[in-house]
Amino acid sequence: MSKSAFVFDHPLIQHKISLLRDKNTTSKEFRELASEISMLMGYEVTRDIPLKEIEIETPMGYAKTKVISGKKLAFVPILRAGLGMVDGMLKLVPMARVGHIGVYRDHETLEPVEYYCKLPQDICDRDVVLLDPMLATAGSACDAIKIVKERGAKNIKFVCLIAAKSGVERLHQEHPDVDIYCAAVDEVLNEKGYIVPGLGDAGDRLFGTK
Ligand code: PRP
Ligand code: URA
């Protein structure tokens, strides 16, 4: 049986995704929404971070209690639209490192073109959370996953806001070990590789270009 994406059905996320899709949403609102949704998603994406038990002194006595065991995380946005998801995630895990991978889609071929890569030196020891609002043909995501795997990363998650059904299938086919998290799976890609209904061009809407 083929794997599917983990789709966040939380009402707050679904509500904010509706606002994000709306073509009348301004860039300022779009940035705020992308950040808020990312933070809400981060709560679930970090669910399997291991804990260790410690003992602390409260004003009333001693408590055996749990803290994160020091597991190393790296958030890696795919430039440029992935940048819109970083601060939401960092609000939850401020100690995480941040790498950057620059990939854009050639408008004619829809093939990914790499132009930048800067990752934490110890990326091979870190759990990697790749961030990109859109998973369309999955070319950019598969390329970014290949890059972090070449640097030794083993435990990789891909987090997006909206995915195309065919993109989810391709990513699972090429990287069956990578779990996909998203807030919606849309059925169709148009002839230019845009997700329909989607939300349009995520980078342009985030940064007010075009
Ligand atoms: C968008 C988006 C993804 C990619 C998805 O980036 O942020 O990276 O397209 O499409 P794919 O799944 O078909 O590869 P874009 O190429 O528009 O670059 P930008 O973020 O620099 O605008
Ligand atoms: N990139 C975007 O920004 N939007 C899409 O719908 C597809 C790729």
Average pLDDT over all residues of the chain: 95
Whether 195 and 162 have beta carbons less than 8 Å apart is answered as yes
- Write out pLDDT tens, residues 33-45: 999 999 999 999 9
| Atom of ligand 2 lying closest to residue 199 CA | 6
| Token digits of residue 129 | 């959370």
Taking the CB of residue 20, how many other CB atoms lie within 10 A of it? 24
What is the C-alpha to C-alpha distance for residues 209 and 18, in angstroms, rounded to an integer?
Answer: 21
Residue 164 has what pLDDT? 98
pLDDT of 210 > 90? The answer is: no
Min mean pLDDT across 1-10, 135-144, 184-193, 194-203 is at 1-10
Residue 2 has what pLDDT? 60
- What 3 state SS string does the chain have? CCCCCEECCCHHHHHHHHHHHCCCCCHHHHHHHHHHHHHHHHHHHCCCCCEEEEEEEECCEEEEEEEECCCCEEEEEEECHHHHHHHHHHHHCCCCEECEEEEEECCCCCCEEEEEEECCCCHHHCEEEEECCEECCCHHHHHHHHHHHHCCCCCEEEECCEEEHHHHHHHHHHCCCCEEEECEEECEECCCCCEECCCCCHHHHHHCCC
Residue 185 has what pLDDT? 98
By annotation, the residues acting in catalysis are: 105, 109, 201, 204
Residue nearest atom 7 of ligand 2, based on CA coordinates? 194
Name the closest ligand to CA 162: 2
pLDDT of 136 > 60? The answer is: yes
- Write out pLDDT tens, residues 8-31: 999 999 999 999 999 999 999 999
CA–centroid distance, 29 to ligand 2, in Å, is 18
pLDDT of 149 > 70? The answer is: yes
CA–centroid distance, 105 to ligand 2, in Å, is 9
Residue 4 has what pLDDT? 84
- Give, for ligand 2, the residue of 140, 195, 205 to mutate: max count of ligand atoms closer than 8 Å to Cβ: 195
Residue nearest atom 6 of ligand 1, based on CA coordinates? 104
**pTM of this prediction?**
0.95
Whether 210 and 27 have beta carbons less than 8 Å apart is answered as no
How large is the average pLDDT for residues 111-140? 96
- Write out pLDDT tens, residues 97-112: 999 999 988 888 888 8
pLDDT of 1 > 50? The answer is: no
